[in-house]
Amino acid sequence: MPASTSTRVFHRQLHHDLPVAVSGQGISITDSAGKAYLDASGGAAVSCLGHGHPDVIAAMHAQIDKLAYAHTSFFTTEVAEELADLLIESAPEGMSHAYFVSGGSEAVEAALKMARQYFVEIGQPQRRHFIARRQSYHGNTLGALAVGGNAWRREQFKPLLINVAHVAPCYEYRDRREDESAEQYGQRLVAELSATIEQLGPENVIAFVAETVGGATAGVLPPVPGYFRGVRELCDRHGILLILDEVMCGMGRTGTLHACEQEGVVPDLVTIAKGLGGGYQPIGAVLAQARLVDTFRQGSGLFQHGHTYLGHAVACAAALAVQQVIRRDGLLAQVRSRGEAFQARLLEAFSSHPHVGDIRGRGLFWGLELVTDRRSKQWFDPDLKLHARIKKAAMAEGLMVYPMGGTVDGRCGDHVLLAPPFVASEAELAEIVERLNRSIDAAIRSAG
Ligand code: PMP
């Protein structure tokens, strides 16, 4: 097959001209022309162990040889139970069960339904509203799209079926006022959430849904100190559930297994995916507090939901191996130390770059926000599609970065998301920054 071709498979773009990926090793993917690309975004923050990891591949082979698939209405499997045990051992306090699905959107859908069913079962069926944030992404299925705050993705599918009120995201670079500290800004956001809860009637709200560290909407958006503690207190005061979506930022990406550990909060439900299976198999999960699961157990005896591939044995085997390698090889500590080195390189390369307004992130999860100039923080004209130009220039350089752009909540912006594999060496991280620097400059030149 030629390196670049018009194919019969379509993904998002119908006019695409993508290279054909044929193999992957370490932090690189190679196309059919033999060109290698450094995977600086882990796809979309997925490939935490890079590509071709022998331990994960061996675990998948072993599982296929034993049993590839058994439907969950007939069986559980040893491998799914072992994975659940491992995840619950290191889960936020009070979590007792894992519900395995095939990806992030499915995890979010399941969490939304668990939250709703919980209130129906405890005799509060009037709770029908979710609250989520404007700069957010929770997936492309209809429920996940309804809670998501990306106007561009939502627009043509409205009216979406779920009642969702949206509040401001935690976007310090743009929204913190000069006369307030980061903490005060966080308190202001919590006050806005409180006002929205009062408007809806606290007794009518099911849950607040948020990415602990924002991902696929506006670069990387880490929360300000105290914000999530304020959110947690508010939810507790009104008996509202807190659903944290850690599909992208979870499973070690920010330097702790769950990003919420750094916020000192415990959610009622947490969704995980991407780094759970590291891309070796499609898998996601909802981790749930015992209180919710016990309610179902003592009430209807079931969670009214399900998909054919729940708890797929080979997917669970891949995820189990990925999670074991992370523990065995001390990769969380490595994310923290390499993350610091990566941050230092990014700051060195871009902190006085005229068109990089902000560099923010945690661990090995970083975003750059592009601006026409640093003082006005003005975005580039969206018609220039700078993010797409950066991606194109990066691919020419042999570099994969995850570009973001388009209208979000009436706001546009161009961002680059970086999420290199946890196994990337310092030399590879340095190479990523060099290639990215050249790519950004080439993209800006091409935009005139
Ligand atoms: N939630 C978040 C926070 C995500 O970043 C994503 C994917 N970018 C999703 C949900 C949806 O996951 P998936 O694409 O696996 O359905």
In a domain, 15, yes or no: no
**Separation between Cα atoms, residue 142 and residue 157, nearest integer Å:** 8
Range of the domain at 119: 57-328
In a domain, 16, yes or no: no
Of 264, 299, 328, the last residue of a domain is: 328
In a domain, 290, yes or no: yes
How much is the pLDDT for 409? 55
**Separation between Cα atoms, residue 158 and residue 292, nearest integer Å:** 31
- Which residue owns the Cα nearest ligand 1 atom 15? 104
**Separation between Cα atoms, residue 272 and residue 23, nearest integer Å:** 26
Atom of ligand 1 nearest to the CA of 141: 16
Atom of ligand 1 nearest to the CA of 215: 5
The DSSP-derived string for 85-126 is: HHHHHTSSTTEEEEEEESSHHHHHHHHHHHHHHHHHHTT-TT
Residues 30 and 143 in one domain: no
Q: How many domains does the chain have?
A: 2
Residues 347 and 276 in one domain: no
**Separation between Cα atoms, residue 116 and residue 109, nearest integer Å:** 11
Residues 293 and 354 in one domain: no
How much is the pLDDT for 161? 76
- Which residue owns the Cα nearest ligand 1 atom 5? 248
How much is the pLDDT for 135? 86
Residues 283 and 384 in one domain: no
| DSSP H/E element including 233 | helix 227-238
Of 297, 328, 359, the last residue of a domain is: 328
Strands 36-39 and 399-400: parallel
Residues 133 and 261 in one domain: yes
Amino acid at the residue 372? T
Polymer length in residues for the chain = 448
Residues 257 and 122 in one domain: yes
Of 308, 328, 348, the last residue of a domain is: 328
CA 298 to ligand 1 centroid distance, Å:
32
**Separation between Cα atoms, residue 340 and residue 196, nearest integer Å:** 38
In a domain, 425, yes or no: yes
Residues 148 and 275 in one domain: yes
In a domain, 1, yes or no: no
Atom of ligand 1 nearest to the CA of 249: 3
CATH of the domain at 171: 3.40.640.10
In a domain, 297, yes or no: yes
Residues 371 and 416 in one domain: yes
Residues 293 and 373 in one domain: no
- Residues having CB within 6 Å of any atom of ligand 1: 44, 103-105, 108, 137-139, 211, 215-216, 245, 247-248, 273
Tell me if residue 49 falls in helix, strand or coil.
Answer: coil
Residues 241 and 283 in one domain: yes
**Separation between Cα atoms, residue 133 and residue 158, nearest integer Å:** 17
Residues 240 and 305 in one domain: yes
Six token digits for residue 268: 């009622």
pLDDT in tens, the chain (448 residues): 555 556 777 777 776 678 999 999 999 999 999 999 999 999 999 999 999 999 999 999 999 999 999 999 999 999 999 999 999 999 999 999 999 999 999 999 999 999 999 999 999 999 999 999 998 999 999 999 999 987 777 778 877 778 999 999 999 999 999 999 999 999 999 999 999 999 999 999 999 999 999 998 878 999 999 999 999 999 999 999 999 999 999 999 999 999 999 999 999 999 999 999 999 999 999 999 999 999 999 999 999 999 999 999 999 999 999 999 999 999 999 999 999 999 999 999 999 999 999 999 999 999 999 999 999 999 999 889 999 999 999 999 999 999 988 655 556 689 999 999 999 999 999 999 999 999 999 999 999 8
How much is the pLDDT for 187? 98
Residues 186 and 317 in one domain: yes
CA 245 to ligand 1 centroid distance, Å:
9
In a domain, 93, yes or no: yes
CATH of the domain at 436: 3.90.1150.10
How much is the pLDDT for 4? 52
- Report the candidate in 407, 405, 409 with the shortest Cα–Cα distance to residue 166: 409
**Separation between Cα atoms, residue 388 and residue 392, nearest integer Å:** 6
How much is the pLDDT for 277? 98
